[in-house]
Amino acid sequence: MAMQPAVLAETTEPIEPEAGRLWLRALRAPLTLTGVIITLVFVVLAVIGPWIAPYDPSAVSDAATAAPSFDHWLGTTQNGQDILSQVLYGAQASMLVGLGSAVITTVLSVLVGITAGYLGGTSDELLSLLANVFLVLPGLPLTIILAAYIPHSGSLGIILVISLTGWAWGARVLRAQTLSLRKRDFVEAARATGERTSKIILRDILPNQLAVIAAAFLGTVTAAILTQASLAFLGLTDVTQWSWGTILYWAQADSALLTGSWWWFVPAGLAIALIGTALSLVNFGIDEFINPRLRQAGIATLKAQRAQVSRRRTKRVRLSGDRQPRPAGAPFTADSTDVVLDVRGLKVNYGATTAVDDVSFTLRRGEVLGIAGESGSGKSTLAYAITRLHKPPADIPQGEIRYTNADRSTVDVLAMDDEQLRAFRWEELSIVFQSAMHALNPIMRVGEQIEDALVAHRPGMAAPERAARVVELLGIVGIPADRAGSYPHELSGGMRQRAMIAVGLALDPEIIVMDEPTTALDVVIQRQIIDKIMELKDRLGFSVIFITHDLSLLIEMSDTIAVMYGGKIVEMAAAQDFHERPQHPYSRGLLESFPTLSGPKKELSGIPGSPPDLRRLPSGCSFRPRCPAAFDACAEHEPRLYQIGASSAACLLYSDDHVVKMGESA
């Protein structure tokens, strides 16, 4: 699976229960449960069928071609045989073939798939080639021929034939899975310590494949029951042995259709369809277990999407299509009061977990606001919330995001309806994503991806004008114009990130939110991109909200810095002040061994302990478990932001009470 953006990792991780509980939850999904129950019923029927069947399925009677009645619940055949009994007996043969084939097929798939994936090299190539060949060969005709050479073969023959033609699919999937698992740390580690191959496979690889193997197994049961039914229906199995397919064979052979005896073929077919449906439903459950995105789809209802923001009635300020030109951006100064974005008391929840809690800040025209934090601190969630790109189950129950229009009127971003939001986003505020690799559509030319923002927002713009603008934008970020026709995979990493920035600049927005725009790049390219951003900011006069875990970078380029911890801003200060006089113990820890500005990069990892679990924040100050300065009150009181000179920090050391107490004791 593709790497998920950090914000997703943040959305899923905090609310993910352990794997074991997840199985239970998958079972609780009504469809999966229905599937499991139906399957179990069929298995039980297959076992006890012959005992509960009211008649001998082959016994002829006088009641020929009788419709369902009290004596014969499902009617009788032309020879007066009881169809219910046939179906019950048939369940045994059909389920036996289904399960038997699935067992053998799965064993074959697992052997081939895991061996190929684990060994790699030539054996892998040969085995996968073999699997692919068998996958493409039309299975049923091959099965039919094999079955025809062993005329009137019983269940065992059919099982062998089905397994022989059916192992390839599972083998292919398992091979791919094993390949990716093999590269994981824990397997590498086991290999490095010289463990036996078989042991690694059994202990480390197989358990991780169980879900996939289960899915392949159930899929094969369905396919095998269907194939057996087809073969039996065509008369290629032993037609005296009762199975669902054989019932249909006799129904067809004795022209049940022409005599209108629907009861003859309806039950057997329904049984096949039902067990097939049931197994597929179970497989959906497994799919959702394997692929968490599918699981989230259930919550992502349109209604939930609309309800993302608790609505408030506010004066609707209609965003006009033609923007008023802004006054040319003056260089930012620390005492500027020209606020463009004012965030007040913003809160973001993922279900019951609060990922961003009571965050407030202002962004002034031309300012670079740097937001720093470890992963899981809520910084990316904050970025998405500001742009209202958060997806359910994320929800903003509280807060205000006020944007100042060119005419100095303000509008609450959270109160906008879809249409207003669509007009606002990108026109006034755009976002540059973390990974250009994932944020650019892989099958669309880069130029077109810039252009479609213009198409959407500037309906009056003619095509040549748009083309010219695309070239201009590429020029601005330093991409040669002829690259407009390239696809993302044809560009280098740095080039892709520049293209992302060009997309962000397309409509000349007032604010650009940048979520770790350079993390994926090497240092030299990173430097070039940062310089480019700073140059463009000065030239075009936009404001930047820059989010990263790279503190040295942030101190260098930001005007103001906000540090996030456990979903809250714990310190906010001018970059210079922050660097020289960090107030919060967390910031101090971060800057402790911090060298000069030009020195080597320092990432936020220098503090003992691990980032807090948002589901179980400690009482009082969430930094307390890692804080060297913690004292009694820290466990009881949640610190708010206290003003210390021009900076502010959320630490009880600066609370008046504490100052008073310290004064008393002094």
Partner 1 sequence: MRTVLRKLGFYLLTAWVAISLNFLIPRVMPGDPAEHLINQFHGKLGPAAIQALRVLFGQPDASLWTQYLNYWHSILTGDFGISYAYYPTDVGTVLGQSMFWTLGLITACTILGFVIGTGLGILAGWKRGTWLDSLIPVTTFLSSIPYFWFAIIIVLVFSITLNWFPLSGGYSVDTTIGFSGDFIASALYYAVLPAATIVITSVGGWLISMRNMMVTTLSEDYVRLAEAKGLSRRRVMYKYAARNAMLPSLSGFAMSLGFVIGGSIVTEVVFNYPGLGTTLFKAAQAADYPLMSAIFLLITIMVLVANLLADVVYVFLDPRTREG
Which of the residues 14 through 43 are near partner 1 (CB under 8 A)?
31
> Site for partner 1 (CB under 8 A): which residue of 287, 338, 342, 638?
287
Judged by beta carbon, residue 451 or residue 571, the one nearer ligand SF4 is: 571
Decide: 578 and 555 in contact? Cβ < 8 Å: yes
Taking the complex as a whole, how short is the minimal distance between the CB of residue 386 and partner 1, in angstroms?
12
Q: Which residues 613-642 are close enough to bind ligand SF4 by CB under 6 A?
A: 621, 623-624, 627, 629-630, 634, 639
Output the smallest distance, CB 50 to partner 1, in A: 24
First to last CA, the chain: 61
**Residue 438 near which of partner 1, ligand SF4, none (CB within 5-8 Å, type-dependent):** partner 1
389: Cβ contacts below 8 Å, ≥ 6 apart: 431
User: In angstroms, how far apart are the furthest CA atoms of the chain?
Assistant: 110
| Both tokens assigned to 161 | 């034939």
Give min distance, CB of 98 to partner 1, in A.
12
DSSP state of 402: E
What is the nearest approach in angstroms of partner 1 to the Cβ of residue 378? 18
293 binds partner 1 (CB under 8 A): yes
Check residue 99 for interaction with ligand SF4 (CB under 6 A).
no
Q: What is the per-residue DSSP string for 556-614? A: HH-SEEEEEETTEEEEEEEHHHHHH---SHHHHHHHHT---TTS---BTT-SSS----G
How far apart CA 168 and CA 233 sit, in angstroms, is 25
Nearest to 97 by CA among 237, 265, 198, 196: 237
Query: Of partner 1, ligand SF4, none, which one sits near residue 585, judging by CB under 5 to 8 A according to partner kind?
Result: ligand SF4
Do 6 and 611 touch, CB atoms closer than 8 A?
no
Q: Which residues contact 197 (CB under 8 A, 6 or more apart)?
A: 118
Say if residues 392 and 381 touch (Cβ distance below 8 Å): no
Region of 338-346, 416-424, 602-610, 648-656 interacting with ligand SF4 (CB under 6 A) = 648-656
Q: Within 10 A of 468 (CB to CB), how many other CB atoms are there?
A: 13
Q: How far is CA 200 from CA 119, 194, 601, in A?
A: 12, 10, 39
Stretch binding ligand SF4 (CB under 6 A), from 371-379, 443-451, 493-501, 645-653: 645-653
- Site membership for ligand SF4, residue 514 (CB under 6 A): no
Candidate list 154, 276, 478, 620; residue touching partner 1; CB under 8 A: 276
Q: Are 200 and 143 in contact (CB under 8 A)?
A: no
Q: Which residues does residue 410 pair with via DSSP β-bridges, in sequence order?
A: 404
Stretch that binds ligand SF4, among 11-19, 114-122, 167-175, 649-657 (CB under 6 A): 649-657
Both structure tokens of 279: 């197994």
* Rounded (to 5) percent helix, strand, coil in the chain: 55, 15, 35
Is cis: bond before 393, omega within 30 of 0? yes
Whichever of 470 and 653 has its CB closer to ligand SF4, that residue is: 653
Neighbours of 288 (CB within 10 A): 21
User: Looking at 123, 197, 291, 333, which residue binds partner 1 (CB under 8 A)?
Assistant: 291
Regarding 535 and contact with partner 1 (CB under 8 A), the answer is no
Determine which helix (DSSP H) or strand (DSSP E) holds 275, and give its type and residue range: helix 262-290
456 touches partner 1 (CB under 8 A) = yes
Instruction: Examine residue 226 and tell whether it contacts ligand SF4 (CB under 6 A).
Output: no
Distance CA 36, CA 43 (A): 11
**What CA–CA distance (Å, rounded) separates 168 from 612?**
46
| Contact range with partner 1 by CB under 8 A, out of 203-211, 250-258, 329-337, 349-357 | 250-258
Is residue 249 helix, strand or coil? helix
442 interacts with partner 1 by CB under 8 A: yes
**Region of 17-25, 134-142, 621-629, 646-654 interacting with partner 1 (CB under 8 A):** 134-142
Q: At its nearest, how many Å lie between ligand SF4 and the CB of residue 628?
A: 8
Strand, helix or coil at 407?
Answer: coil
Is residue 569 at the binding interface for ligand SF4, with CB under 6 A as the rule?
Answer: no
Q: Which of residues 582-611 bind ligand SF4 (CB under 6 A)?
A: 585
Q: Using CB distances below 5 to 8 A depending on partner kind, what does residue 503 bind out of partner 1, ligand SF4, none?
A: partner 1
Burial class, 574, CB count within 10 angstroms (exposed 0-12 / middle 13-18 / buried 19+)? middle
Residue closer to ligand SF4, measured from CB, 42 or 623: 623
Three-state secondary structure call for residue 401: strand
Query: Which of 210, 226, 217, 239 minimizes the C-alpha distance to 275?
Result: 226
453 binds, among partner 1, ligand SF4, none (CB under 5 to 8 A by kind): partner 1
Binding residues for partner 1 restricted to 137-196, rule: CB under 8 A: 137-151
The answer to the question of residue 401 lying near partner 1 (CB under 8 A) is: no
Q: Does the protein bind partner 1 through residue 253 (CB under 8 A)?
A: no
User: Residue 648: which H helix or E strand, with range?
Assistant: strand 647-649
433 makes contact with partner 1 (CB under 8 A): yes
User: CA dihedral defined by 656, 661, 662, 666, rounded to 10 degrees?
Assistant: 140
Q: Which does 644 bind (CB under 5 to 8 A by kind): partner 1, ligand SF4, none?
A: none
Q: Closer to ligand SF4 at the Cβ: 453 or 634? A: 634
Find the binding residues for partner 1 in span 493-512 (CB under 8 A).
503, 506
Tokens of residue 73, six digits: 């619940």
Q: Is there binding between residue 267 and partner 1 (CB under 8 A)?
A: no
Among the listed ranges 67-75, 283-291, 556-564, 630-638, the one in contact with partner 1 (CB under 8 A) is 283-291
Q: Name the minimum Å distance from CB 245 to partner 1.
A: 8
Options 326-334, 422-430, 530-538, 627-635: segment touching partner 1 (CB under 8 A): 422-430
Given 116, 162, 173, 248, the residue binding partner 1 (CB under 8 A): 248
- In the complex with ligand SF4, which residue's Cβ is closer, 290 or 629? 629
Q: What residue 269 binds from ligand SF4, partner 1, none (CB within 5 to 8 A, per partner kind)? A: partner 1
Q: Least separation, in Å, of the C-beta of 350 and ligand SF4?
A: 24
Distance CA 652, CA 640 (A): 8
Contact 451, 467 (CB under 8 A): yes
Question: Can residue 653 be called a binding residue for ligand SF4 (CB under 6 A)?
Answer: yes
Can you tell me whether residue 302 is helix, strand or coil? helix
Smaller CB separation from ligand SF4, 75 or 639: 639
Site string for partner 1, 477-496 (x = CB under 8 A): ----------x-xx------
Sign, CA dihedral 435-437-440-445, equals: positive
Q: How far is the CB of 414 from partner 1 (least distance, A)?
A: 16
Q: Closest separation between CB of residue 635 and ligand SF4, Å? A: 8
539-578 binders of partner 1 (CB under 8 A): none
The correct pick among 97, 372, 423, 653 for binding partner 1 (CB under 8 A) is: 423
Instruction: Work out the number of other CB atoms within 10 angstroms of the CB of residue 607.
Output: 18
For residue 459, state whether it binds partner 1 (rule: CB under 8 A): no
Query: Does an H or E element contain 263, and which?
Result: helix 262-290
Residues that bind ligand SF4 (CB under 6 A): 585, 621, 623-624, 627, 629-630, 634, 639, 651-653
